Amino acid sequence: MSKHISASMEVSAKHVHDGKLQAGMFPHGTRVYITDVGVDPVADIIKATRAITDMGYHAVPHIPARRIESQNALESRLSGLVNEGGTNDILVIAGEADRQMGPFSQSLEVLQSGLVDKLGIAHVAIGGHPEGNAAYSGRDVMEVLKEKVAFASQMDAELRLTTQFGFDGPKFVQWANDVKAAGIDAPIHLGVAGPAKITTLIKYAAMCGVGNSLNFFKKRTSAIAALATKHSPEDVVKPIEASWASGENNIAQLHVFPFGGLQASADWLKERGSFAPAENAA
């Protein structure tokens, strides 16, 4: 067993097309997720998936349920990602949208479409929400998760949970323990922010709705002088890594959001020894 927990990376299609992501930046086989916040045409995401695959990484495009216009649009997107993009791994999320743009209101409905198995997609991540999810309108988050996992158990694809980033490591560990206690036996990939200016992280945390974690973070960085400094992820990662090493739950990997730049996050992960190819990580 490695001394350090392994990691994947989140990028945008623009990172790929602008040349910010390069072959050799991460080890061969590293999972590289491609975010979709509604600004990139599907064709650009498919091209980015192909480019990431050709670099030797394991591309994981986001599938935002609420922004998919129809069953045909979903099939076209997924078949393009598989056949043109060369991936067999996706992250299915509800997706931030002002309104539901088609028949899918949540990630479960995308899974229920049957297209994952039809197209031979071997790996599927679904979102985990250690801080809750306002979009569930009062429904119990753990019960929603159990419903998704129960359906996914009937699919051929291997399932994992990948979470939004946060700053409260112990809270993330407790959530992972709660997931296991609820009888959910799926690998957990916990989101963390890579090295970045603290002001940058506060901006993204507000945008991404991680309010509780943001408040925790602000309490620790209340001094004006601290706001001008860079954030090291180590305080967040240490309790997560200790829990992973103990085997007390299903924490399997980190998932890094490179708000301070891809190179800064890559350098940090290489320095701490937290890169491992996808085929060597759950």
Distance CA 176, CA 187 (A): 10
User: What CA–CA distance (Å, rounded) separates 45 from 53?
Assistant: 12
In the predicted structure, residue 158 carries a pLDDT above the cut 70: yes
User: Are the beta carbons of 152 and 111 closer than 8 angstroms?
Assistant: yes
pLDDT, position 227:
46
pLDDT of residue 231: 73
Distance (Å, rounded) from C-alpha 62 to C-alpha 152? Answer: 17
Contact present, 186 and 163 (Cβ < 8 Å): no
pLDDT at residue 275 tops 80: no
What's the pTM? 0.90
User: What class, spelled out in words, does domain 6-280 have in CATH?
Assistant: alpha beta
Label residue 208 by pLDDT band (50, 70, 90). Answer: low
The answer to whether residues 94 and 36 touch, using CB atoms and an 8 Å cutoff, is no
CA distances from 268 to 66, 155, 195 (A): 34, 36, 7
Please state the rounded mean pLDDT for residues 66-78. 97
Q: Express each pLDDT in 14-54 by its tens digit.
A: 999 999 999 999 989 999 999 998 889 999 999 999 999 99
**Is the pLDDT score of 281 beyond 50?**
no
